[in-house]
Amino acid sequence: MAMEKRSLLTSLTVVLVFGGGLVTRAGRIPPPSKKPAFEVLPAALVDRAEAIRERAPTESKAYDFLHDLTSEIGPRFSGSANDRRAVEWAQRKLKQLGFSNVRAEEVTVARWHRGEATGEIVSPVQRWVQPLALGGSVATPSGGIEAEVLEVAGLEELAKLERAAVAGKIVFLNHRMRRSRDGTGYREAAPNRRHGAARAAELGAAAALIRSVATSTTPEAHTGMTHYEEGVPRIPAAALSNPDADLLEEQFGGGKTVRFRIELTCRDLPNGTSANVIGEIPGQERPEEIVLLAAHLDSWDVGTGTLDDGIGCAIITDVARLIGELKPPPRRTIRVFLAANEEFGLAGALTYAKKYASDVKLHVAAMEADFGAGRVWGMRSRVADEALPAVRDLGRLLAPLGIEYLGNYASGGADLLPLLRYRIPLFEFPQDATKYFDAYHSANDTLDKVDRDDLSQIVAAYAVVTLVAAEFEDGFGRAPKFNGQWPYPFDRLFEGKDLPR
């Protein structure tokens, strides 16, 4: 009986909610409709873009790429032996897939060793927990640091405290990340990870603990960079999983004093080398004009770097391959840029910008894939005003994928940030991030989190825009200057003192 009721509900959903549309596991497939009118894109280009959009679900090999990368290489922390193996692997793979000009361009990277982490609630009752050092954290002294815990809701509450209330304590930034489709919960939470240790250290704290910037309720903690600052003591910083953070939180009941011991053995290593891996589908008419597709090949050292950002590498490589197999080949060059060191300094992106500064005017469009495995629900551009009619046409091409055009305020991705100063036209695709923060930056970032249908939809979205960018004669002009606030602490990149004008 219960089953029949469920079937009834499903039927109702289909009929009543989507008004005749068909709901499948892959999402919403719209009913047949009149073909939209296009403003400026030539009909032949529209046809080709629609064709590649429809082919992506059956012809995408992005999952295979991702499977091989994560099962053959796995975690590839910047500058590690596995990172070097990934660089070799990616070059082989790009060559196998028919890319031209495949090369690895050396990048000098900071390195860091995670070591071991031990955490213990000492009182009011003894309990073991499992912290995970934040990226770049210094070690504790041997034997650890034991101190009273000061619980704060976040940076704002911490900023109101006097030094006397903080000095010598372990500050526990207990912000619980909000789950959200658009990732706004991350923007609220991440500053605690980035700046918690520095702000606590300014007030004399002995160490900083954060509730993971993550929505998972499973036992894994989530890492990510903590940013030490000039002139501020570097104190050990680690994350607790949500359940461990709950446990710590519960100890404060009735105003109890809580003591914690943390021991970290992480340490900086001497600088090492990694590489940006680049491959191209050469343009046939204007090979010097480049549509840049970026993702980052490095990952954190925990998990397998599937969602962050193996999947981005898989998406852009597959998109370029699909377009490269078209007859005729694309007018402009499509360059796949698998960046080094995104998670630990963005040295790959900076190296790329420096190296190609003289070429950046020939980057006619750029986009990055680095937001996990959720379906694309929107598209933002950053193009010249006169190119907006073409962008509206792109919106029409994307609509059947369930993608809405959101506006002309794209900011690219982390690996494109250094290029922003050059006003390259950008496109970006917000993806459904509801589940992303369960997995990223943790041991939970594994292949089973990827749905093949969703992946095909992402590939289709990037393919449509990439093809049009490679083919559309007029291009997208010069992007408006960026004056907005950044969700990332990358201000130094925009100062760009060491980047060519």
Active site residues: 342
Query: Could you say which of 80, 251, 276, 431 contacts its own copies (CB under 8 A)?
Result: 251
What does the DSSP 8-state code read for residue 109? E
433 binds its own copies (CB under 8 A): no
CA dihedral 30, 35, 40, 45 (to 10 degrees): 80
Does residue 259 interact with its own copies by CB under 8 A? no
Give yes or no for a contact between 442 and 307, defined as CB atoms under 8 angstroms apart. no
Per CB under 8 A, the list member of 12, 153, 165, 269 interacting with its own copies is 12
**Helix count (H) and strand count (E) of the chain?**
14, 18
Q: Is 16 in the site for its own copies (CB under 8 A)?
A: yes
Alpha-carbon gap, residue 105 to 92, rounded angstroms: 15
Using CB under 8 A as the binding criterion, the count of chain residues that bind its own copies stands at: 39
Q: Is 48 in the site for its own copies (CB under 8 A)?
A: no
Distance, CA of 70 to CA of 59 (rounded, Å): 21
Q: According to CB under 8 A, which one of 51, 125, 153, 269 is a site residue for its own copies?
A: 125
| Max CA separation in the chain (angstroms) | 73
Nearest residue (CB) to its own copies, 253 versus 270:
253
Q: Is 119 in the site for its own copies (CB under 8 A)?
A: no
**491 in contact with its own copies (CB under 8 A):** no
Cβ-proximal residues to 36 (8 Å cutoff; 6+ apart), any chain: 396, 399
Strand spans (E) along 75-133: 100-113, 117-123, 127-129, 132-133
Q: Which of 52, 69, 74, 97 binds its own copies (CB under 8 A)?
A: 74
> Which of the ranges 35-43, 105-113, 125-133, 391-399 carries the binding residues for its own copies, by CB under 8 A?
125-133
Select 331 or 449, whichever has its Cβ closest to its own copies.
Answer: 449
AA identity, residue 268: D
Decide: is 161 part of the binding site for its own copies (CB under 8 A). no
Which one of the spans 213-221, 272-280, 362-370, 469-477 is the region binding its own copies (CB under 8 A)? 213-221
Contact between 54 and its own copies (CB under 8 A)?
Answer: no
| Interaction residues for its own copies, span 167-186 (CB under 8 A) | none
- Which of 219, 395, 477, 487 contacts its own copies by CB under 8 A? 219
| Residue 284 makes contact with its own copies by CB under 8 A | no
Computed from CA positions of residues 337, 340, 346, 347, in that sequence, does the dihedral angle turn out positive or negative? negative
Binding of residue 247 to its own copies (CB under 8 A): yes
Window of 103-111, 240-248, 265-273, 338-346 that interacts with its own copies by CB under 8 A = 240-248
Place of tokens 């200057």: 481
246 belongs to the binding site for its own copies (CB under 8 A) = yes
100 binds its own copies (CB under 8 A): no
Contacting residue, 100, 101, 184, 217, with its own copies by CB under 8 A: 217
Structural contact between residues 115 and 263, judged by C-beta atoms closer than 8 angstroms:
no
Under a CB-based contact definition with an 8 Å cutoff, are residues 306 and 446 in contact?
Answer: yes
Q: Is 72 in the site for its own copies (CB under 8 A)?
A: yes
Residue 26: other Cβ atoms inside 10 A: 15
Answer whether 131's CB lies under 8 Å from 173's CB: no
Residues 439-458 touching its own copies, rule: CB under 8 A, are 442-444, 446-449
Q: Among residues 375 and 449, whose Cβ is nearest to its own copies?
A: 449
Q: Kindly tell me which of 254 and 270 has the beta carbon lying closer to its own copies.
A: 254
- Closer CB to its own copies, 125 or 159, in the complex: 125
Which two structure tokens, joined as six digits, stand for 469? 């960018």
Residues 6 or more apart whose CB falls under 8 angstroms from that of 78 comprise 109, 110, 111, 274, 298, 340, 341, 343, 344, 345, 347
Looking at the DSSP bridge assignments, the partners of residue 106 are 275
For 340-402, strand residue ranges (E) read 363-368, 378-382
Q: Rank residues 306 and 381 by Cβ distance to its own copies and give the closer one.
A: 306
Q: Please give the Cα distance from 412 to 367 (Å, whole number).
A: 6
Cis peptide before 359 (omega within 30 of 0): no
| Closest separation in Å from C-beta 250 to its own copies | 4
Query: Cβ closer to its own copies: 41 or 307?
Result: 307
242 part of the interface to its own copies, by CB under 8 A: yes
Which tokens in the block code for residue 246?
Answer: 């709950």
* Interface contacts to its own copies, rule CB under 8 A: 5, 8-9, 12-13, 16-18, 67, 70-74, 124-125, 127, 130, 216-220, 242-243, 246-247, 250-251, 253, 303-304, 442-444, 446-449
